Structure 1
Amino acid sequence: MAERLNVHHPILQRMYHLDGDVEERTHIYDDWAGAYDEDTVEHLGYVGPPLVAALVAELVPAAAPVLDAGCGTGLVGAELAARGFTAVDGVDLSEGMLKVARSKGVYRRLERADITRPLPFDPGGYAAVSCAGTFTAGHVGPEGIDPLVAAARRGGYVVMTVLTQVWEDMGFAAHVAGLTREGAVTVVEDRPDQTYHTSEPVTCRLLVLRAER
């Protein structure tokens, strides 16, 4: 997958070949946390966080509660804070990444959690749930979407990126179609082939789901 994506960063090459090994992935992110922002934003031109934050800001008012799932070092939280959001909670598996996120002072609450399992917050408590950079090769599969939808209130939104190369291959397209057929969600917006890294030919799908239950 890394070769297909023309990704040259050594940590990303390793990440994209993990085959979903959660423990190894968590350790890598713990070790990478201190250099993550510089490596991804400054060197790779990673633009997933501003893409997601801008869409959240279009959909809900700045006073609304937002959950940032797979928040990492807090890049989405910082983008939301810059847009006036003050009630943002976050979850991530990596304590090292959460430590960096805490240092930014943009979250109301941060918890260590696996987003493929029920989240440590009241179900249906959020007007919007953001998720940037988590649905990608070697990371979380489409099973991670369901807890995010459950965290959103009825009529609330899930705004997420999915790496273009895994949309079909990892079953995201089929999973979203199934949730739609069941009446669990409505696809509000679907933007394919959005720039993901400005320094490399890597794109993502930017997707907005509305929770219907």
Structure 2
Amino acid sequence: MKKPTPALSDAYALSTSEDSRRLYADWAATYDQDFAAGQDYLLPALTAKAFAAAGGEGPVLDVGAGTGLCGQALMALGVGPIDATDISAAMLAEALRKDAYRDVIEADLLQGIPVPRGSYRGVVSSGTFTHGHLGPEGLPALLRVAAPGAWFALSVNARFYEKAGFAGALDRLLRGQWIRSLTLPEVRIYGPRATGPHKDDTALVALFQKV
């Protein structure tokens, strides 16, 4: 019997790293067409646009890069070079087909990213900080790989933002003078062709600089 195509509800129900690897291995080949195109997925392009508008520059690390939609959008805006990291080797294989990335790094963010400290002048993430995925516990690993002055553009599902403790975590980073210039523009995740219970969901794009 053919496996059912994964859906957003399956992604939001994830609870372990191994669950994520299994789901995205099954979804990688059809993700762009069935989900991104089918649900009019705007968030990767809007995250890239926010990063570029803030003055973000390369080299950039695209965190939770998936099939490379945000990297592709950054490249179209003239931002680069870009590296991708994701927990799913299958999703990264799809990302490589887009020719947007200098390198890809398979990594579990909670275990750290195996690159030297301060490697990047920018960090972006679209769709990774959300239900069933990562919360603010992933921020220290991102700060470690960013150089002083690096711009961040991290999309966070708006319903997940308070629930997961992002407000408190970012406030602690501000007060500890780890980051500065925090703004939180709100954007739509999906366009008008989207259907289903999440079609009107929004995200906050956490824009800030590492001190």
CA contact (8 A) 1:60 1:128 kept: no
Residues 40-92 of structure 1: per-residue CA shift (max 9 Å, x gap): 32111111111111122223466x21111111100011111111234111100
- TM-score of the superposition, structure 1-length normalised? 0.89
Cα distance in 1 for residues equivalent to 2:28 and 2:16 = 18
Cα distance in 2 for residues equivalent to 1:13 and 1:85 = 32
Residue 49 (structure 1) aligns with: 44
Cα distance in 2 for residues equivalent to 1:116 and 1:97 = 18
Report the residue type matching 1:197 in the other structure.
Y
Residue 210 (structure 1) aligns with: 209
Residue 136 (structure 2) aligns with: 142
- TM-score of the superposition, structure 2-length normalised? 0.89
Report the residue type matching 1:106 in the other structure.
A
CA contact (8 A) 1:49 1:75 kept: yes
Deviation at 1:10, TM superposition (A): 5.6
Residue 3 (structure 1) aligns with: none
Cα distance in 1 for residues equivalent to 2:136 and 2:56 = 28
Residue 197 (structure 1) aligns with: 190
Counting only pairs closer than 5 Å after superposition, residues 1-213 of structure 1 correspond to structure 2 as: 11-18=7-14, 20-60=15-55, 64-192=58-186, 194-198=187-191, 199=194, 200-212=199-211
Q: Percent identity?
A: 33
Cα distance in 1 for residues equivalent to 2:154 and 2:8 = 20
CA contact (8 A) 2:153 2:208 kept: yes
Deviation at 1:211, TM superposition (A): 0.5
Cα distance in 2 for residues equivalent to 1:188 and 1:172 = 12
Q: Which runs of 5 or more structure 1 residues have no equivalent in the other structure?
A: 1-8
Length, aligned pairs only = 201
List 4+ stretches of structure 1 deviating above 3 A. Answer: 59-62
CA contact (8 A) 1:77 1:106 kept: yes
SS across alignment from 1:119? coil
